[in-house]
């Protein structure tokens, strides 16, 4: 009896497992790509709920004053900024509408003395408040691209060392993503995820160039793509690209050093020269004034 009961339970378990396997939705490459895009470009659940809870009339105000296709442009700038977890296109639009209203109120209060100043202050400060979220988003994107540009030579050196040591390109890219920090490491991890779910290496690297504006990174991806199509060894390409990136970094540092005298010229003229004129010319001016008053 116990044997029959055990066999029945075993058959039931096998039947339930087969039914669960058949009913379970199969994961596809498109679904995995959509999941990756969602995880990198959307806010966490709590943040998304907060963004959805923001007043819709603020977003409608910003949409009425913005050109068509503003949501796509905001998403592009959010991609360049690394998709901060608290920033979404709807939330940026709501912030633009809120800053517009607050700026109008502040500008009106500043020019409350006369009608002309009231209208001028209202329009100027409201326009500044409307474009303030765009400026913050642009600044975040520029800082991220600068961070990627600075980290690229060291990442290429690590890639070159790993590939020449015998690792494949994918394994070397995983080492870069694991042992470095910053936006470039996160982008490398995303490229690896896209390659693991079925995208080709060239497609993943080209998608990387669409999320950045760094010319050096675009040149590196183009060189890798051509090397893969022509059959050139990747180690040689990486070595040449790493040498070129180090040269560009040195040239960029020299350029910034040469800009320093020009940048300190204006503070020097505004702050130091007036004090020097007072110290040097002041006694002579006092003596001249005494002589003229005496005459």
pTM of the model: 0.69
pLDDT at 287 over 80: yes
User: 207-227: per-residue pLDDT in tens?
Assistant: 888 888 888 888 888 888 888
* Integer-rounded Cα radius of gyration of the chain: 31
Would you state the structure tokens that stand for residue 70, as one six-digit string? 């503003």
> What per-residue confidence (pLDDT) applies to 295?
56
Q: Which residues contact 57 (CB under 8 A, 6 or more apart)?
A: 97
> Domain segments of the chain: what residues?
148-251
On average, the pLDDT of the chain sits at 80
Rounded to whole angstroms, the Cα distance separating 146 from 154 reads 14
Domain 148-251 - what CATH class? Answer: mainly alpha
> What per-residue confidence (pLDDT) applies to 37?
54
């Amino acid at each position: 009896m116990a044997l029959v009961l055990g066999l029945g339970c075993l058959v039931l378990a096998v039947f339930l497992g087969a039914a669960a396997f058949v009913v379970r939705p199969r994961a596809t490459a498109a679904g995995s790509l959509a999941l990756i895009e969602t995880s990198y470009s959307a806010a966490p659940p709590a943040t998304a709920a907060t963004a959805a809870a923001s007043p819709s009339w603020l977003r409608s105000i910003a949409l009425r004053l913005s050109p068509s296709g503003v949501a796509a442009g905001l998403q592009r700038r959010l991609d360049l900024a690394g998709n901060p977890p608290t920033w979404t296109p709807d939330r940026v639009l709501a912030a633009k509408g809120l800053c517009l209203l607050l700026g109008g109120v502040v500008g009106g209060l500043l020019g409350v003395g006369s009608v002309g100043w009231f209208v001028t202050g209202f329009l100027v400060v409201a326009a500044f408040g409307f474009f303030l979220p765009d400026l913050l988003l642009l600044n975040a994107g520029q800082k991220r691209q600068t961070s990627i540009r600075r980290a690229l030579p060291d990442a290429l050196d690590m890639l070159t060392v790993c590939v020449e040591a015998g690792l494949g390109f994918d394994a070397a890219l995983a080492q870069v993503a694991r042992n470095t920090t910053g936006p470039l490491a996160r982008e490398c991890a995303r490229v690896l995820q896209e390659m693991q779910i079925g995208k080709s290496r060239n497609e993943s690297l080209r998608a990387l160039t669409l999320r950045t504006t760094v010319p050096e990174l675009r040149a590196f991806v183009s060189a890798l793509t051509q090397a893969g199509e022509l059959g050139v060894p990747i180690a040689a390409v990486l070595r040449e690209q790493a040498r070129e990136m180090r040269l560009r970094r040195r040239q960029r540092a020299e350029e910034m050093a040469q800009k320093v005298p020009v940048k300190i010229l204006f503070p020097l003229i505004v702050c130091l020269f007036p004090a020097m004129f007072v110290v040097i010319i002041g006694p002579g001016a006092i003596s001249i004034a005494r002589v003229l008053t005496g005459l």
